[in-house]
Structure 1
Amino acid sequence: MTERATPIDTTLSAPPTFESLLRTVEEMNTPDGFRAEIIRGKIVVSPWSKLRYVRPTRALRRQLEAEAPDGHIAETSPFLFRFPSAGRAYGPDLFVADEAAFEADGRHADGAALSLVGEFTSVSTKDADRTDKLDVYGLLVPVCLVIDMQGSEITCFSAPSPHGYRSRTTVSFGEPLHVPEPFGCVIDSSGF
């Protein structure tokens, strides 16, 4: 289980609602080192990243903190962001979001608060990171960075639309990557 995402079958007499799935995730006793997300109408439990992901995650977070829009924070804390219209709830590896989203009493932040998400691919999450999550983020989140740890490259998706992201730029680790507004900066990926 350390390398594979594991869906939890929630098959009942009637399909579960998005809200009932969120409640189930809240009540789960997820083992240390694992996280639960709602992907394609199922609760998926997957492991946190390997140790070698710490350095690139911290390097990216530091750079984004300095360029974050006013009132937004860069974090790696294990929070779920809900996308009710898509029936999804994701816990991005790294995110930049409006700090006001964390003043509520709930356990799941609104996906509309995100200005950027960063997903570091692994063997267990790469398919969801490149398909399901990208499709949902592409409707709402201004910038999505997919850091392909197996392929040693980083892709910046931007310009969300009703049909998904309209812009995509990929560079190999070590090359600079332009991140458009609301950041308007260049990421140094040499430490990845």
Structure 2
Amino acid sequence: MTAMAHEPPTQEEVLLEGFLALDTPEGFRAELIEGEIVVTPPPGGHHEKCVSRIIRQVIKLSQAEMDISGNRGLRLKPAEGLPSDRLIPDITFAPLEPDVFGDDNESWMPCEGVAMVVEVTSTRPQADREAKRRCYARGRIPLYLLVDRESAQITLFSDPENGDYREHCARPFGKPLTLPAPFGFDLDTSDFL
């Protein structure tokens, strides 16, 4: 009987295995974004104020009830030649039915059924503006809301196709931004100033 030769792991497999084995300090987030491991520190007060204001408005004004998470990791379709992206949005919104947040045994959920993800810029704003936008579009997440604190504007990206969003609508802080169905209300950004 001959021993079967095992194929050595690919670079993508080694990267993903290393990422999944990370032990990040409490409060820090580790993400795998287009083949790069990114660790970010806990967010500051203004960041969390923006997150809170968005969640409060969605709960109060949205046409559809939403499940909300700020800690659930998403497994997204990778760029060619890379392992699957693993992102943790600042906020993830999904309709109550079907339950897309899944069971407790899965750390990284698929993105099917997610209605909108939100990122509030912090230590790496360029990643939120570009790499994360592409990751969410490859995952076919219908809406990506970017609160860009550096440029003092909010942008809604929609209509994902071919690895990016085809539509976007930007408003300066202080001006309302219309969120389409299933949300169906004007998001007040005056508290972001």
TM bracket (short chain): 0.7 to 0.9
Identity %: 30
When residues 156 and 84 of structure 1 are mapped into structure 2, their CA distance, relative to the original with a 3 A threshold, is: closer
Structure 1 residue 165, shift from structure 2 partner: 1.4
Which of 76, 79, 82 is matched with 1:83 structurally? 76
Structure 1 unaligned segments of length 5 or more: list them. Answer: 1-11
Whether the 8 Å CA contact 1:138–1:164 is kept in 2: the answer is yes
Shift of 1:29: 1.8
Query: TM-score normalized by structure 1?
Result: 0.81
Provide closer, same or farther for how the CA distance between residues 143 and 62 of structure 1 changes in structure 2, counting only shifts above 3 A.
Answer: same
Cα offset for 1:14? 3.9
Aligned residue pairs, count:
176
Distance 1:14 1:33 in 2: 31
Query: Is 1:162 the equivalent of 2:159?
Result: no
In the alignment, structure 1 residue 15 sits paired with structure 2 residue 11: yes
Offset, 1:68: 6.3
Structure 1 segment 58-97 matched on structure 2, within 5 A: 58-66=52-60, 67=62, 69-70=64-65, 72-76=66-70, 78-86=71-79, 87-97=84-94
Which one has the largest radius of gyration?
2
Q: Does the CA-based 8 Å contact 1:102-1:109 persist in structure 2?
A: yes
Instruction: Tell me, yes or no, if the aligned pair for 2:116 and 2:142 is still in contact at 8 Å.
Output: yes
Question: Is 1:130 matched with 2:124?
Answer: no
Shift of 1:163: 4.8
List alignment gaps of at least 5 residues for structure 2. 1-7
CA contact (8 A) 1:101 1:113 kept: yes
Match of 1:57 among 17, 28, 51: 51
Contact 1:81–1:108 (Cα < 8 Å) also in 2: yes
Note the C-alpha offset of 1:40: 1.6
SS at match of 2:191: coil
List, as ranges, runs of 4+ consecutive aligned residues in structure 1 with deviation greater than 3 Å: 23-27
Change (3 A) 1:132 1:26: same
